[in-house]
């Protein structure tokens, strides 16, 4: 159960960068994480072992989203561009019918593609498919591609360290979750919330709060989120109050997904969260440095980069208390198919490859 917290705790990960951390310090960190995930389900991580500054992370996102729409649509998932082959990785465009969920995204899987699963190719969504990348005439995206892959690798390693700490905190061996790493499908999602006109209000909210991401829990194991200084992320506490999770310089927000809550035997909580639209003056409130230095201009909206740690498609995930377990590929496909938070079935106005605007079909956004 989540608690009546009024702010998110900050967890210092410096110890993970030391050459030979003592078992006692690691145990203390694992207990701290356990406590956080058992209460808020959310925390800020500081001094994480990553080589990326926020400027660089949001610079990569802004570089991608500044591409022309027809370039981005070449990378669109099949759902949005019928002639494309990619079903799970790639671009999804903003959906005009979804004003309280208005975002575009670019999803990248592991730099080395997971082995195709026996049931993968026959399905509508090929979870193990390779990444797609911009093929711009201008080769300037090439360095960004390699940095995005590097960011994926580093967040995957960090997830693996956190899983070891959580295993210890659950009184299991440190390598207890190592099977989750085999053919892991983790997704790095670059997100852009375009600026919204100030008249837009959310129909899903009684108090007419403007949202750009509707309330949801994450479906998987662990999410590591880079959010830019725009602000707007909010987390629901036990009293049903939305607690702001403003930008904390240099931090990564971590939260538990539904599946990890189950794996922990209900000890950890997958907390509901949403993103509120900040318009106009509020937008720059959180940060003295406006992240995303390279080519960022004010009024571009919000950027965030969640990383969803995912096991392999065939990985059997079960509670630490025992029980039958579920095959990860089945879990994720079920979520994609039935959970309203992760399935936006709408007829979207899509821009064709020739630039024409027309019906692009059913839009399904996974997670």
Ligand X SMILES: O=C(O)CCC(=O)C(=O)O
Q: Interface with ligand X by CB under 6 A: which residues?
A: 191, 213, 218, 225, 227, 233, 273, 275, 304, 306
For 16, phi then psi, to 5°, come to: -70, -15
The dihedral through the CA atoms of 44, 127, 216, 199 has a sign that is positive
- Rounded CA separation 164/334 (Å): 27
Q: How near is the Cβ of 8 to Fe ion at its closest, in Å? A: 14
Q: C-alpha distances in angstroms, 63 versus 17, 57, 139, 279, 286?
A: 30, 10, 13, 22, 22
Binding partner selected for residue 275 from ligand X, Fe ion, none, CB under the kind-specific 5 to 8 Å limit: ligand X
Q: How near is the Cβ of 135 to ligand X at its closest, in Å? A: 26
Residue 87 or residue 304: which is nearer to ligand X going by CB? 304
Contact 48, 67 (CB under 8 A): no
Q: How near is the Cβ of 64 to ligand X at its closest, in Å? A: 15
Residue 224 or residue 225: which is nearer to ligand X going by CB? 225
Q: How near is the Cβ of 308 to ligand X at its closest, in Å? A: 8
User: Strands across the sheet with 187-193, in order?
Assistant: 10-12, 42-46, 252-256, 222-227, 302-309, 187-193, 104-108, 90-92
Residue 275 or residue 317: which is nearer to ligand X going by CB? 275
Query: Residue 188 contacts by C-beta under 8 Å, 6 or more apart in sequence?
Result: 107, 108, 109, 148, 151, 152, 155, 305, 306, 307
- Rounded CA separation 159/156 (Å): 5
Binding partner selected for residue 75 from ligand X, Fe ion, none, CB under the kind-specific 5 to 8 Å limit: none
- Rounded CA separation 11/33 (Å): 8
Residue 57 or residue 233: which is nearer to ligand X going by CB? 233
Binding partner selected for residue 225 from Fe ion, ligand X, none, CB under the kind-specific 5 to 8 Å limit: ligand X
Q: How near is the Cβ of 213 to ligand X at its closest, in Å? A: 5
Burial class (CB in 10 A: 0-12, 13-18, 19+), 146: exposed
Q: How near is the Cβ of 157 to Fe ion at its closest, in Å? A: 21
Binding partner selected for residue 11 from ligand X, Fe ion, none, CB under the kind-specific 5 to 8 Å limit: none
One residue of 107, 126, 218, 365 binding Fe ion per CB under 5 A: 218
- Find the part of the chain contacting Fe ion (CB under 5 A) among 107-115, 141-149, 164-172, 215-223: 215-223
- Rounded CA separation 343/216 (Å): 11
| Residue whose beta carbon is closest to Fe ion | 218
Residue 218 or residue 262: which is nearer to Fe ion going by CB? 218
Residue 60 or residue 275: which is nearer to ligand X going by CB? 275
Contact 79, 41 (CB under 8 A): no
Q: How near is the Cβ of 163 to ligand X at its closest, in Å? A: 19
Residue 16 or residue 332: which is nearer to ligand X going by CB? 332
Burial class (CB in 10 A: 0-12, 13-18, 19+), 199: exposed
Binding site for Fe ion (CB under 5 A): 218
């Amino acid at each position: 159960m989540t608690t009546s917290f009024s702010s998110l705790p900050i967890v210092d990960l410096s110890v993970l960068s030391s050459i030979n951390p003592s078992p006692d310090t690691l145990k203390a960190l694992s207990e701290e994480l356990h406590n956080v995930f058992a209460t808020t389900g959310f925390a800020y991580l500081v001094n994480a072992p990553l080589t990326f500054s926020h400027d660089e992370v949001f610079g990569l996102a802004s570089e991608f989203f500044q591409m022309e729409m027809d370039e981005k649509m070449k990378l669109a998932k099949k759902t949005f561009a019928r002639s494309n082959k990619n079903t799970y990785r790639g671009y999804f465009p903003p959906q005009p019918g979804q004003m309280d969920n208005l975002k575009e995204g670019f999803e990248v899987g592991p730099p080395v593609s997971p082995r195709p699963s026996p049931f993968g190719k026959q399905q509508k969504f090929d979870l193990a498919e390779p990444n797609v990348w911009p093929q711009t005439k201008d080769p300037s995206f090439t360095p960004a591609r390699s940095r995005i892959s590097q960011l994926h690798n580093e967040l995957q390693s960090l997830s693996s360290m956190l899983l070891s700490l959580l295993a210890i905190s659950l009184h299991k061996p440190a390598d207890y979750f190592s099977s989750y790493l085999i053919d892991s499908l983790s997704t790095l999602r670059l997100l852009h919330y375009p600026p919204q006109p100030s008249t837009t209000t959310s129909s899903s909210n009684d108090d007419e709060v403007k949202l750009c991401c509707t309330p949801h829990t994450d479906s998987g194991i662990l999410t590591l989120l880079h959010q830019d200084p725009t602000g707007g992320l909010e987390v629901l506490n036990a009293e049903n109050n939305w607690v702001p999770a403003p930008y904390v310089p240099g931090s990564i927000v971590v939260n538990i997904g539904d599946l990890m809550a189950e794996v922990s035997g209900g000890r950890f909580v997958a907390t509901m969260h949403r993103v509120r639209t900040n318009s106009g003056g509020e937008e720059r409130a959180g940060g003295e440095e406006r992240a995303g230095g390279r080519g960022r201009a004010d009024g571009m909206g919000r950027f965030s980069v969640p990383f969803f740690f995912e096991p392999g498609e065939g990985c059997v995930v079960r509670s630490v208390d025992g029980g039958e377990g579920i095959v990860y590929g089945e879990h994720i496909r079920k979520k994609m198919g039935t959970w309203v938070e992760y399935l936006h079935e709408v007829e979207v106005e899509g821009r064709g490859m020739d630039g024409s605007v027309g019906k692009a079909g059913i839009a399904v956004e996974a997670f």
